[in-house]
Amino acid sequence: ISISILLIMLKNVFDQLKKNFVYFESWSDLPNPQVPPPPVDQGLVNLYQEIRTTVKQEAEVINVVFPDPVGVMQVFLQRIFAQLTYLESLLMHAENNSTLAYLRCLVAANIATKELVEDLKGLDMRQKGLSNTSYLDANEASHNSGTIAEILEQCIRDLFVPYTEGDRYIEKEKKSLGELYSSLLLQFTAYHTQQKQLRAGSLLGRAFNQITLYSNTNLMDVPTTEDDGNLSVNSAMLMLKIHAEAIRRAMKLSPFTE
């Protein structure tokens, strides 16, 4: 009964935060490649802090009340992570904003969730009064901590599989880079297209053909000047920053084998 009531309380917290997350200030910078990635959504920070506090408090009760505290805590943790619909709503809202916003939100949420999991791995799930021998206590604690850690690792894998399985994540990164480069190079590409200086078979021509796939603009209709024919240093530097940020995300979200 205690676990059921607690899960209902946590669900109410999840639902309340889901209503409010769009109002946090960090959202305004998410789709802007010219500013560094903002901190993780404050609603997710608040939610994870609530989970930390609640789980640690309840762990003390579970240790005393239940004959199998580790088993009960396993079920409790699995149900908590299964109820994390806030993360799904967060990412859906970000994707409606832009692909870059989605990716920044995804990696920030992944890092925050890993930090939550590391904190919860330290739970001391031992039945009180069962052992007075320090060696046995230490051995039991080590075994139970390992069991809890395995469950938590599985929980975080299950939570992010819908976003990282197969090529899903990498395809999002490719889409984001295409969209951002297409926007930055619109005037430059339009000028050279109008001047017919990009031969179809040339390396530069093929590169810009790929980039313009992400643009819905007819390049022949874009007003240009001679200055647009030169790529600015600022644009080139921004493209490098965008690429570097994508690589950093990939190192955190892609499997080590890729």
Q: What pLDDT does residue 15 have?
A: 62
How many CB atoms are closer than 10 A to CB 62? 21
Q: How confident is the model at residue 118 (pLDDT cuts 50, 70, 90)?
A: very high
Q: What pLDDT does residue 60 have?
A: 84
Q: Give dist(CA 6, CA 58) in Å, integer.
A: 9
pLDDT greater than 70 at residue 139: no
- C-alpha dihedral, 80 to 150 to 104 to 169, nearest 10°: -110
Q: How confident is the model at residue 244 (pLDDT cuts 50, 70, 90)?
A: very high
172 or 8: which carries more pLDDT confidence? 172
Q: What pLDDT does residue 126 have?
A: 63
Domain boundaries, the chain: 2-164, 173-253
Q: Give dist(CA 145, CA 227) in Å, integer.
A: 64
Supply the pTM of this predicted model: 0.79
Closest CA to 113 of 43, 209, 44: 44
- Lowest mean pLDDT across 23-27, 41-45, 135-139, 182-186: 135-139
- CB distance 74 to 148 below 8 Å: yes
Q: Give dist(CA 162, CA 29) in Å, integer.
A: 25
Q: How confident is the model at residue 64 (pLDDT cuts 50, 70, 90)?
A: confident
Q: How confident is the model at residue 137 (pLDDT cuts 50, 70, 90)?
A: very low
Q: What pLDDT does residue 194 have?
A: 66
Q: Is 125 helix (H, G, I), strand (E, B) or coil?
A: coil
Q: What is the DSSP string of 31-92?
A: T-TTSPPPPPPHHHHHHHHHHHHHHHHHHHHHHHH-S-HHHHHHHHHHHHHHT-HHHHHHHH
67 or 180: which carries more pLDDT confidence? 180
Q: How confident is the model at residue 249 (pLDDT cuts 50, 70, 90)?
A: very high
Label residue 227 exposed, middle or buried (CB < 10 Å: 0-12, 13-18, 19+). exposed
Q: What pLDDT does residue 38 have?
A: 86
pLDDT digits (tens, 9 = 90+) for 5-55: 666 656 665 665 555 555 456 678 889 999 999 888 888 888 899 889 888
Sign of CA dihedral 23, 29, 32, 36: negative
86 or 12: which carries more pLDDT confidence? 86
Label residue 255 exposed, middle or buried (CB < 10 Å: 0-12, 13-18, 19+). exposed
Q: How confident is the model at residue 156 (pLDDT cuts 50, 70, 90)?
A: very high
How many CB atoms are closer than 10 A to CB 225? 8
How far is the CA of 132 from the CAs of 66, 126, 140, 141, 144, in angstroms?
19, 12, 12, 13, 17
DSSP-assigned letter for residue 222: S
198 or 240: which carries more pLDDT confidence? 240
Long-range pairs for 161-169: beta carbons < 8 A, 24 or more residues apart: 163/91, 163/106, 164/253, 164/254, 169/106, 169/250, 169/253, 169/254
Average per-residue pLDDT for the chain = 78
